[in-house]
Amino acid sequence: MPKDIVVTGRRLDAARDAILPSLGASDYTLDRADLQRQPGGLDRSLSQVLLQAPGVTLDSYGAIHVRNEHANLQYRLNGIIVPESISGFGSTFDPHIADSIDLLSGTLPAQYGYRTSGVINLKTRTGNFDNGGDIGIYGGSRGTIEPTASIHGSTGRLNYFASGSYLENDLGVENPTASRDAIHDHTRQYRAFGYLSDILSDSSRITAFGGTSIGYFQIPNNPGQDPAFTLNGRSSFDSAKLDQNQREITHYGVLAYQYAGDALNLQIAPFARYSQTRFTPDPLGGDLILAGVADRSRLSSLTLGVQADGSYTLSDSHTLRFGVFFQNERTRSNVTSRVFSVDDDGQQTSDVPLSITDMGGKTGQLYGVYLQDEWSLTPKLTLNYGARFDAVRAYTNEQQVSPRANLVWKAASATVFHLGYARNFTPPPQELVASPTLALFNGTTKATAITTADPVRAEREHYFDGGVQQTFAPGFKIGIDAYYKIKRNLLDEGQFGPSLVLSPFNYAKGYAWGVELSTNYTRGPLDLYANVARGQEKGTDIVSSQYFFAPDELAYIANHYIFTDHSQRWTGSGGGSVSIHDGIGTLVPAVDVLYGNGLRSDDPAGIIPNGGKLPSYITANLGIAQNFDGPGMMKGLSISFNVTNVADKTYLLRDGSGVGVGAPQYGARRGFFAGLHKSF
């Protein structure tokens, strides 16, 4: 491979990354070596990887919360937004495709919009003009088996990478009981990704990448549920034998053209994404007997758009950055509900179910444009200021101008301060919004006590953030960051039906605050880290999708601030690894720890919604990997063994109570796993 092509490819990579810097934001980065050192390595899910970042909270269905916000996360591949998927618990992206993973939070620069509690950017593997690949198998407890494979290489100026994985186990969704093994919880998940890049000249290239994620999930059962209705003369059903299932698919693709000149740097990227979720109830009518409602749902979303970002170096002191974004999304929903007729007191009047179909669709758009200036006031002081304008035209028609400013001061070679303000505009996720036809269900078991259904609105936020990072010795860093948020139309999401797809709603007002402390020590073969965060989020007065809630909940929340259901007071994570050269390669023992103070639950006194808190918990994972240096076929071979939840801790993520919370979910019990991987 000619050296000049390799150098050009790397220079274009650096120029692409420079278009979208993280100036003033909190940036937590894991490179591929960091990912491989963690217990479980690249065979972990993306959410498990991110839980080791500061201020990231674990929730059910594989969800995470950054700084106590529900969702509001944006996923990017190589800096390009990949639109959100309709998913309940399946992860779209596989860590195997990542060369590095960045989590940006705090007061984001003007180029970041729409989802602003955190931006997760995966810099994908590209081949790096080097031929090779890898193949592996990972498995263990609960019937887990996960084969993976990838290949990368180049021919002339063309560079390529492809990856595929398959996951099967008996814990696709969190167990609703404290038992070691869930009932009816099998999953099969397929993921694939491809990357192709062609260098057109010394200053330009064209890149295409895309992938697919397909997941099949059994919905786990909670035995011992009492039947409440009669179906065709049957008034009993064993809830341990329910057969509910959900399928989730997502396909996405991006075509990007990049130009990197002396002063002008530009990337234009059209993109497409199709997502679909299907939920099927128990075929024998178990849902009807137990709950009086059986929904068969099909939700789909097709998104097409374009993202363009650029930078222009005006002088040694000023670098302008600018960009535009447009997205057109078509969403469809088709829900067929089997219900019973009831009288005015809610008593069943017939044991023969009715079938009611509620269909809908919407075409909506997102528009955005931004301009900002990175101004080097002095060699040690940088001001990054600008603004963006965003508009949404879908279930709500709103727009906002959002100023942003971040000041970064390198007070000394080992001390860096940052202070920032951001005005944020967060449109509701169109793929999760549906316009309900409540009147269809009058006089049935699906009728709602509240018939108000005001539209979901965009969240508007004032965000203040400041912090300092201090290097005390080579490889030893400590950072502290504090933030405060003032929200109008605070967006939240909840599970309000049997299908594990969340639905958004708004609190009229809200606020959040928090403090994060992070430490990292890397020296020689030793790598250690620890994070702790204290924070909370509260909201008052639910002003959209009111029909999801009970009248007493709405009445209390209308005049009181309550904790949002995902607010957790304390969150902690930590871990470490050591690389030991043992004569045949490198032996890497590793550990990571997660602490959660407990998400919200019902008030024990039954007065304050989300007024209770679940018990705190701490879990630890251990891993050991032997990486071989050779000779012959041993070169590139890695053998690993991992134990998750070492102490076999039984802990609740959710207890089934709280505002917008569905069934209870327990964290996974202890598991034993082994892996064999070979690179070539």
Distance CA(269)–CA(278), nearest Å, equals 30
Q: In 3D, which of 648, 655, 544, 663 has the Cα closest to residue 141? A: 648
Q: Phi and psi dihedrals of 70, rounded to 5?
A: -85, 125
> Cα dist. 595→354, 564, 576 in Å?
47, 19, 15
DSSP reduced 3-state for 37: helix
Query: How much is the pLDDT for 1?
Result: 53
Label residue 210 by pLDDT band (50, 70, 90). Answer: very high
Label residue 140 by pLDDT band (50, 70, 90). Answer: very high
Convert the pLDDT of each residue in 282-304 to its tens digit: 999 999 999 999 999 999 999 99
More confident: 346 or 484: 484
Domain covering 3-679 in this structure, CATH number: 2.40.170.20
Beta bridge partners of 412: 415
Query: How much is the pLDDT for 457?
Result: 96
Is-contact 617 607, C-beta < 8 A?
no
> Is 70 exceeded by the pLDDT of residue 500?
no
Is-contact 603 565, C-beta < 8 A?
no
To the nearest whole percent, how much of the chain has pLDDT over 70?
98
Alpha helices in 341-417 (DSSP H): none
- Summarize the confidence of residues 38-54 as an average pLDDT: 93
Convert the pLDDT of each residue in 635-667 to its tens digit: 999 999 999 999 999 999 999 888 888 789 999
Is-contact 117 69, C-beta < 8 A?
yes
Residues 6 or more apart whose Cβ sits within 8 Å of residue 451: 438, 547
Q: In 3D, which of 299, 254, 255, 306 has the Cα closest to residue 275? A: 299
Alpha helices in 348-488 (DSSP H): none
Average pLDDT in the chain:
93
Structure tokens given for 649: 């801790």
> Is 80 exceeded by the pLDDT of residue 436?
no
> Cα dist. 441→190, 278, 353 in Å?
37, 21, 12
Convert the pLDDT of each residue in 159-201 to its tens digit: 999 999 999 999 999 999 999 999 999 999 999 999 999 999 9
> Is 60 exceeded by the pLDDT of residue 90?
no
Distance CA(62)–CA(48), nearest Å, equals 8
- Summarize the confidence of residues 325-338 as an average pLDDT: 95
Pairing of the two strands 617-628 and 637-644: antiparallel
Torsion, Cα 51 54 57 58, to 10 degrees, reads: 10
Residues 6 or more apart whose Cβ sits within 8 Å of residue 296: 279, 280, 281, 335, 336, 337
Query: How much is the pLDDT for 503?
Result: 86
Is-contact 574 538, C-beta < 8 A?
no
Q: In 3D, which of 262, 97, 272 has the Cα closest to residue 192? A: 97
Query: Which residue is associated with the tokens 């999708």?
Result: 545
To the nearest whole percent, how much of the chain has pLDDT over 90?
84
More confident: 630 or 73: 73
Convert the pLDDT of each residue in 607-642 to its tens digit: 899 999 999 999 999 999 999 998 888 999 999 999
Convert the pLDDT of each residue in 541-596 to its tens digit: 999 999 999 999 999 999 999 999 999 999 999 999 999 999 999 999 999 999 99
- Summarize the confidence of residues 451-462 as an average pLDDT: 95
Query: How much is the pLDDT for 16?
Result: 85
Convert the pLDDT of each residue in 108-119 to its tens digit: 999 999 999 999
Residue 631, preceding bond cis, omega within 30 degrees? yes
Query: How much is the pLDDT for 2?
Result: 60
Query: How much is the pLDDT for 433?
Result: 79
- Summarize the confidence of residues 230-244 as an average pLDDT: 96
Label residue 88 by pLDDT band (50, 70, 90). Answer: low
Query: How much is the pLDDT for 495?
Result: 80
